[in-house]
Amino acid sequence: MNTTWQAELAESFTRLSDLLDFLELDEIHRPEFQAVTERFSFRVTPSYARRMSKRNPRDPLLLQVLPDARELIDHPNYASDPVGDLDAVTAPGVLQKYRGRVLLITTGACAIHCRYCFRRNFPYDANMISKRQEQDALDAIRADRSIREVILSGGDPLVLSDERLARLIEQIGAIPHIRRLRIHTRLPIVLPSRVTAELIAALTETRLKSVVVIHANHANEFDRDVSEALAAFQKARICLLNQTVLLKGVNDDAEILIRLSETLFENGVIPYYLHLLDKARGTQHFDLTTDKALAIYQAMRETLPGYLLPKLVREEAGRPYKTPVG
């Protein structure tokens, strides 16, 4: 595997004008983009950009990262903390919403800034585990014997170095009552070079059962590099699941989602969840009605075998589990 993922990450597009020039889309430069990216910054990896169709302003990958003036409209039903993360904080960087598992906010950094991100307004500075706070977080987990699973989240935990991840995984594995380690990440999709031999070793040299939950929304996100990265997880017998967000204008079509499920399975990934949009402030233009979501899901159900049909859910603050829809 390519071991220069940090160099590729450093070459990310951080100015929208540069990405639009690369895609030969000069005509959609708009003055309001500056105000939008001041509220939520812009970042796209070169690898992800290369999968976008040039001269196509409706490309489904572009639409996931393209700033939109509607992000500046504050809607009363869309909040800064749409799923109750802050109420679930039990220690700095530690969230517990559901019985038996706990989530660590390992970083606020991501390789790509998806405009629909449910944590786009999250106060990371006060709610993630720094190296100094790591031990306090682990002590809190060690003290609660009801916890069986630790979930690494962010931001994106795979932005951390292999060395820091390996050390953190080793420390989690030393807690006797923890059985599983889960990592939620978009990097195998947007920065496939991140899947290094050292990362695979960190996930396989632990006694914990490792689960990697990737995040893909469209079959066009897959190319040879992504397939090779996922194959490395498969070869190591690491369980691969996928979460998709249902996004208006991007994948709100049964045929698109059917193709995604089939592409996931071809790459050894089980479709896990199809999420209704978390109502984060500035994301309302991606939302669609529950009735529309149910119609799409019914068409998927009529076509796909059960093992390729993700669960349609929404996350609601304060609920003890994700709410099934339909």
Q: What is the pLDDT of residues 227-280, one digit of tens each?
A: 999 999 999 999 999 999 999 999 999 999 999 999 999 999 999 999 999 999
pTM: 0.94
pLDDT tens digits, 89-106: 888 889 999 999 999 999
Q: Does 3 score more than 60 pLDDT?
A: no
Residue 98: both structure tokens together: 């559901």
Burial (CB count within 10 angstroms: exposed 0-12, middle 13-18, buried 19+), residue 268: middle
- CATH architecture, range 86-324: Alpha-Beta Barrel (3.20)
Cβ atoms 280, 118 nearer than 8 A: yes
Cross-strand partners of 44: 13
| Amino acid letter, residue 310 | P
Cross-strand partners of 180: 149, 209
pLDDT value of residue 306? 96
**Cα distance between residue 82 and residue 316, in whole Å:** 8
158 compared with 119, residue with greater pLDDT: 158
Beta-strand pair 323-324/311-314? antiparallel
Q: What SS3 class is residue 16?
A: helix
Q: What is the dihedral of CA 98, 100, 106, 108, to 10 degrees?
A: -10
Which residues have C-beta within 8 Å of that of residue 282, sequence separation ≥ 6? 39, 40, 70, 71, 72, 73, 74, 78, 115, 120, 121
In the chain, where the domains are located: 5-72, 86-324
**Cα distance between residue 115 and residue 56, in whole Å:** 18
**Cα distance between residue 158 and residue 193, in whole Å:** 11
The residue to which tokens 């996922």 are assigned: 230
Which whole-number Å values give the CA distances from 195 to 200, 222, 227, 232, in the listed order?
7, 15, 11, 8
How is the chain split among helix, strand and coil, in percent rounded to 5? 40, 15, 45
**Cα distance from N-terminal residue to C-terminal residue, the chain:** 41
What pLDDT band is residue 1 in, cutting at 50, 70 and 90?
Answer: very low
Q: What angle do CA 183, 186, 188 make, to 5 degrees?
A: 90
**Mean residue pLDDT across the chain:** 93
**Cα distance between residue 114 and residue 101, in whole Å:** 26
**Cα distance between residue 303 and residue 317, in whole Å:** 32
Nearest to 168 by CA among 205, 125, 138: 138
